[in-house]
Structure formats: structure tokens, C-alpha cells
Amino acid sequence: MNNRYAAAYALIGCGPRGMNVLERFVFHVSRDLQQRPIVLHIIDPEAAGGGIHGAQSDHLLLNTIASQLTTFVDDVMVEDGGVRGPSLYEWSLRRGVRVTSNTGEVRRVEPIDHLPRRLLGEYLRWAFGQLLDVAPPWLDIRLHNSAAFEVRRLIDGREEVALDNGTSVKVDGVVLCVGHTGTPVPRLLGQEVPGTAVIGNPYPMPGALAHIGAGETIGVLGSGLTAMDVIAELTVGRGGRYEAAGQLRYVASGDEPKIVLITRRGLPARARPRPYRSEPMAPQHLTLSALQEARARTADGRLDFHRDVLPLVNAEMRHRISVMEPDPVVAARLTAQVTATWTAEVPASALYSADSYGVWFVDQVEQDLTEARRGLDRSPIKAAFETLRDLREVLRHAVDGVGMTELSLAEFFGPFASEINRNVICPQLERNEELVALVRAGVLSPGLGPKCGLTWSDGRWLLESTALTKPRTTELNRVVYGFSPSPTITYSTNPVVQHLYTSDRLRPVIAGRTELGAQVDENGFAIDAQGNPQPTLAVFGPLAEGSSYYNHYVTSPGSKSRATNDADRAVRSFLSTSNSTSSSHLNKLTLI
């Protein structure tokens, strides 16, 4: 027997972002030639690895194609590489996965498929087992199928994580990967309503939507990814089906409710286009060097969104259009159409009545579907918008560090991010095809235009138009939130986040009048209320939104991975500290 002491760490939450952290621990500890013992406590009440991608129905789809999702690491994603393994597509291909189209066609999986989220959950759980299998014996991984409810800093500098089963673990560092932490429904609504009248979180499906009765009229807030999940669950999930007879047609089962969309601006979400067959264009305007030059021109290094960032975005979009469209007149028209999206409104001609608005809404969706079917190699419009996805890492650098002015941060994470969500991080092409079919079948209404009023009165919701020339009011039985509220610190329903906030260990990023996620430093360590980084508390994923940009995604192979690099810096910092730390307070581990 050889008694040695092990540094210990806790990973709270092991969904996709927690898996990035686990992989970094496995990789770096494996390379330690001195084989110093490390204990890693993984604390997650759900099946580790899968996160929210659990036992979901096959009609709930990923909006990223299968070949662009992985939890393993190649040599391009991060310096020195990592634990190698198959992407979601490669894993699905090996398993003989078959996919079913919205019209019932069954075939083998292809790289460009938007697979059911259930499969991503299965893949992540399988990958979790693979990481455990390849972990070195001196990395002691301990699973706790319990929820953490408190993290306390101890006098000796360690952290103590209290679990809901009455136990606790004392560790040298904590990584918080708790995903979307929830916001109380009354906070979202601003009105006191019965719990049965509003569904603030539609997940997990179908359970969260099960009490919606056939024939009820419900309002769905939003038209993006979550709204499309809600719509799919209340239609195909209720026994409806689609048929291809010239144009896609929905055949109702009779168990559906009547669905009414409620969108703040009244604009439909665009559809994800067919992916590139070639490589994306190299950036010419929206580059790291351009942002650095813009910072150098300011007194404090902080960027102004409208002066320094948006012009680069528009120039890059204009460049892509000019390369793909040789006719300068057509290119100018397309450029004007694309850049106008930042201030787009429903035209006055569409706002005469609910019917005229509905016709306009469907026409907009169908025009966009034409471009989506052309794909990124053939549609200048779609290629221009894809700039904002291809160059997401550059946009992150606009936020990182000293970032932007407070007003610019509010603009970036408010209207600008909202338009990116609507135009780029948008529903699958098939979902918007289905949306049109549902409108034609009378199952779904595009709603009453922009800026509708929504009030609870006498046991029902009243949805009232404010922009239509012919006013219209619709009664609703329930309202469903078809979007995921941005994580906040102040109003989080997660007990760990609540405790860390009330004990002044987390402070929110404030952008204008909007609260974003937790403030973290360049290595992912939380900033406390006094402005000091905490080298024993790291925060990753959606909870770090605001300190960085777009943190709720699964990593992609073959390109530099921000999520992997973020996790890498924190894990390296932890391990470098543990290598030089006195063993006087470390957890004892017996090795044979």
C-alpha cells in the first residue's frame, strides 16, 4: 500500500459543457509523468453526459448538423489536442442509425442531417463512459447522482460542496456547468396568474405540455427553436402527420390545440440553409486585427458597437454577396436587404388586418425557404447571414476582456443577438416547411402582428393587436414560453447560483437595464462582488453569457473550439496549483 494525497475538484453539472471539462481533466492528468493522484467529483442528479438531451421524442431535432457536433478533441480544436473519438455523425453511422423525414421517408444517416436530440443525449452518455474508460488510474472519478445546493469557501482556502442527500465534499476547486439556471415565471410575466395558465418551461416534453387539451387555444411566445419544439410536440407529438403531395400538407389527428404565435416584432425566424459543400470564405473585414485596431483608437480600449463592430459586420456581409453575385446592381439590392435586418419591421401594407398579416408572414417564410434550399454555396443572402456563425469567434473577441461600452453591450446582447438568433441560429429548414403547412391546415395562426398586448383577465388570456388597422382580440386558454430566458444571477432558481450570489461570490454582468450571466475573467474564474477573481471557482456555459458570447452549444470538430480552450485554461490552472500545493489539507487517497 502506498499512501499519497490527492488534490480534489468538483464538477457541478455534466452536460455538454461539463463534458468539455471532464475531457480536459482526463487528457491532462493522463499526461502527468509523475502520476500525481487527482480526485474529480462529478455532481449531477441526471445521467451524466447527456445534460438536457435526455429521453426526448424523435420529432425534437438538433439545429446543428450531425457532422458538426462532437465531445472529443482533435489537434485543431485546441493546442496539443485531446482525447480522440468519433463525432456524432461518425458514431451514428457506426450504430446504423436511420433517420425519418417529416414525410415518413426512412434512410441511413448523412453528415448534413439534423438528428433527434435524443441521439445526442445517447452519444454524450456513451462518450462519458468512454472518458471514464480511458482515464488513468491516478485520476479517481467519483460520481454523485445528487444535486448540489451550496458551495462554501472554507477558512483553509478550499471549497465545500453540500449535496441534497445530506453529504458534502471538500475540494480544492469547483467548476460550475449548470446550463440554463431558470427564471421564475412570475418574474417573466410581470402578472400574477394561476400556474395552470402559463407554462414557463416547456421541457421536458411531452410531460410539461401534457395538460394542454385538444381544441384549447394557446399562445406560444416566440418563433425560434424552442417554439418549434413546442409546435412539433403539440402536432406530430399528438398523432398528426405530414404528407408530400406537391406541397407539404399536414393531416391533423384531432388532438391538437389551436396554436397562436406571439412575437414581439412580428417577424418570422429564417430557416437554416443547406450547408456548405465548399469551404466558407476567408474573412476580409470582420477580423481580430480589425477589432484590435478599433480598440487602439479608443481611450479605454472599449469598443462602441455602432461605430466599431456593426460596420465590420455589414462590410463582411457585403463582401460575401459581391463575391457570389457578379451583377453590381443585384448585389447592391441584396446587400440592402440583408443589412436592413437590424432595423426590420413588418411593413404597413401587411398590418391592415390579422388576415393580411398572416398572408405576409407565410409569404416571408416561403421566400426564405427558397433561399434555404439553394444553400450556402448558391444563396448570397444565406451566405451573408452565415458570416455571423462562421465568425462567431471574432464576435466573441468584441465582448472579451475590456469589451464594449455598457450601452454597446446592451445593444450587442439585446437587439443584435436577437437578430442573430432569428436569422442564423434558427429553425431547421424542415421546421419552417411544417410551419407553412400548419397555417394552411388551420392548426396554427401567425398571430396578430407585432407588439401585441397580453393580459390575464377573468380566467383567460386576452391577446390584443396594437399595430393592426382593424384591431383584433383573441382569447387564449394558456400561454407557453417558446424561448429560453437568458440566465441571470439575481433571479436564478438554481440553489447553488442563489447561494453564491447572496454570499457575494457571483456578480452579474449588467448591460444597460439588462442583467446577463455571471462575470468571469479571461480564464473562466468567477469575479466576486468586490471585483476579485476567485481561482477556486470557475463558471462555464450559458451562465457565463455576457462575459463572453454564445456559450450554449456543443463543440464542433476540425476548427478551433472556444469551449474546449476555455475549459483547458481552467483545468491547467487547477492542476498547476495542485502540483505546487502543500499536501496538508488535501484529501487522502490510498493507491495499491
> What pTM, to 2 d.p., does this model score?
0.91
Domain 2-182+487-591 shares a fold with domain 185-269+427-481: yes
**How many other CB atoms are found less than 10 A from the CB of residue 374?**
16
d(CA 505, CA 528): 4
d(CA 135, CA 32): 12
pLDDT (tens digit, 9 = 90+) per residue, 387-402? Answer: 999 999 999 999 987 8
d(CA 199, CA 569): 39
Q: Can you give the C-alpha Rg of the chain in angstroms?
A: 25
Task: Kindly indicate the confidence band of residue 429, based on its pLDDT and cuts at 50, 70 and 90.
Answer: very high
Q: What is the pLDDT of residue 271?
A: 96
The yes-or-no verdict on residue 586 having pLDDT over 50 is no
pLDDT (tens digit, 9 = 90+) per residue, 339-350? Answer: 999 999 999 999
Please check whether the domain covering 185-269+427-481 is classified as CATH 3.40.640.10. no
DSSP 539: E
Which of 335, 328, 514 has the alpha carbon at shortest distance from 413?
A: 514
Asked whether the beta carbons of 264 and 450 are under 8 A apart, the reply is yes
- Which three cell numbers, joined as nine digits, stand for 481? 414560453
CA-based end-to-end distance of the chain:
5
CATH of 2-182+487-591, one of 3.50.50.60, 3.40.50.1460, 3.90.1150.10, 3.40.640.10: 3.50.50.60
DSSP class per residue in 545-575? BTTBS-------TTS--HHHHHHHHHHHHHH
Task: Kindly indicate the confidence band of residue 553, based on its pLDDT and cuts at 50, 70 and 90.
Answer: confident
Report which of residues 118 and 513 the model is more confident about. 118
d(CA 487, CA 321): 35
User: Could you state, in order of their start, the residue ranges of all structural domains in the chain?
Assistant: 2-182+487-591, 185-269+427-481, 288-423
Which of 589, 592, 578 has the alpha carbon at shortest distance from 140?
A: 589
